[in-house]
Amino acid sequence: MHVPVLLNEVLKYLDPQANQNFIDATVGDGGHAKAILEKTAPNGKLIAIDRDIDSISRAKINLEEFGNRVVFANDSFGNILKIVEESGIGEIKGVVIDFGMSTGQLENSGKGFSFQKDEILDMRYDIRTPLTAEDILNDYGEAELFRIFKEFGEEPKARMVARAVAQARDRGRIKTTKELVAIIEKVIRRRGKIHPATKIFQALRIEVNGELAEIEKALADIPKILSGGGRAAFISFHSLEDRLVKNWSKDLSKENIIKILNKKPVVASAEEIKINPKSRSAKLRVIEKL
Ligand SMILES: C[S@@+](CC[C@H](N)C(=O)[O-])C[C@H]1O[C@@H](n2cnc3c(N)ncnc32)[C@H](O)[C@@H]1O
């Protein structure tokens, strides 16, 4: 089961009250959603979005007790405006977006998100989207591979990894995470606790799912769906995500559309990191619609 990150901090900032409506734009296993629904009883609604049908299935089980107070959408948060309009739910008091993957996806999806498993190279949150990690590794030109490893992985050895991938696939299609890890390990040596494949896997996942473009689309629409005084909380796990949220909120606060509630991102306490090591890299930013 996925442990929700920075849960107390999200609740403190979103401050859900009885009968208010919220959106969890990355419902996952429903951890944040459940805590919000408990506070918005008896009639508050929650729009629960996730791009992954398996996450939606898990969330449906975990949020069953709330019945028709939850409206599910198996879609990308990039379509948040359309999803809210179609739900017919108004007066949205808050949105939470918890970027990245859930523990279930990493450990049990079989889609190749983890470099610690031997799985097919899929990495799609939504299997209706066309591009897989295997397609990218085998069909992109070497220069294009270099660009995504550098831009989306911020991997200093991006050029060498792109070259190694290009050479390896001359000998046959790269099909599994184990094969990819072996190629990366020839080029990058382990630095401390960080696995050498971390940044390359991140880059592939971002490219497969168009993650940054989806974040930009959601950010553009969030001011349109929040009611006045409504808040949006963003939990990011790497600098590319955090930078998008940070720059967007700076721009909109200059235009007096929103107010930034925390100049510095909120990070997990030592206590939370001890219980849930995944929270170590989490950064929370919160804004309020003016
Ligand atoms: C870290 S998990 C969320 C965990 C959740 N907050 C909880 O407490 O259980 C992130 C979820 O976001 C989903 N996701 C990733 N990109 C998405 C997108 N563009 N639109 C909607 N959901 C997305 C993933 O499928 C995953 O289930």
* Domain shared by 34 and 54, yes or no: yes
Average pLDDT of span 189-215: 94
Domain, as residue range, for 187: 109-209
CATH code for the domain in which residue 140 is found: 1.10.150.170
Cβ–ligand 1 distance for 26 under 6 Å, the answer yes
* Domain shared by 27 and 142, yes or no: no
Burial class (CB in 10 A: 0-12, 13-18, 19+), 88: exposed
pLDDT class of 18 with cuts at 50, 70, 90 = very high
Look up the pTM and report it: 0.96
d(CA 155, CA 177): 18
Q: Whose CA is nearest to atom 8 of ligand 1?
A: 31
Closest atom of ligand 1 to CA, residue 211: 19
Per-residue pLDDT at 189: 87
Cβ–ligand 1 distance for 6 under 6 Å, the answer no
In a domain, 2, yes or no: no
Residue-wise pLDDT tens digits, 56-103: 999 999 999 999 999 999 999 999 999 999 999 999 999 999 998 999
Test site for ligand 1: of 102, 237, 272, 283, most ligand atoms within 8 A of the Cβ: 102
Residue-wise pLDDT tens digits, 231-277: 999 999 999 999 999 999 999 999 999 999 999 999 999 999 999 99
Domain boundary among the residues 187, 209, 231 is at 209
Test site for ligand 1: of 50, 126, 214, most ligand atoms within 8 A of the Cβ: 50
Test site for ligand 1: of 3, 7, 24, 26, most ligand atoms within 8 A of the Cβ: 26
* Domain shared by 201 and 222, yes or no: no
State the angle between helix axes of 177-187 and 158-170 in degrees (0 to 180), rounded to the nearest 10: 130
C-alpha of residue 187 to centroid of ligand 1, in Å: 32
d(CA 233, CA 222): 11
Cα distance between the two ends of the chain: 37
Average pLDDT of span 179-189: 95
* Domain shared by 80 and 47, yes or no: yes
* Domain shared by 190 and 237, yes or no: no
Residue 1 has pLDDT above 80, yes or no: no
Using an 8 Å Cβ cutoff, are 59 and 196 in contact? no
Give 234's DSSP letter: E
pLDDT class of 190 with cuts at 50, 70, 90 = confident
Residue 161 has pLDDT above 90, yes or no: yes
Q: Residue 178 corresponds to which amino acid?
A: K
Per-residue pLDDT at 238: 94
Per-residue pLDDT at 194: 85
d(CA 123, CA 108): 12
**Domain count of the chain?**
2
C-alpha of residue 76 to centroid of ligand 1, in Å: 9
* Domain shared by 100 and 219, yes or no: yes
Per-residue pLDDT at 192: 83
* Domain shared by 140 and 222, yes or no: no
Cβ–ligand 1 distance for 28 under 6 Å, the answer yes
Residue-wise pLDDT tens digits, 116-143: 999 999 999 999 999 999 999 999 999 9
C-alpha of residue 127 to centroid of ligand 1, in Å: 14
Closest atom of ligand 1 to CA, residue 125: 25
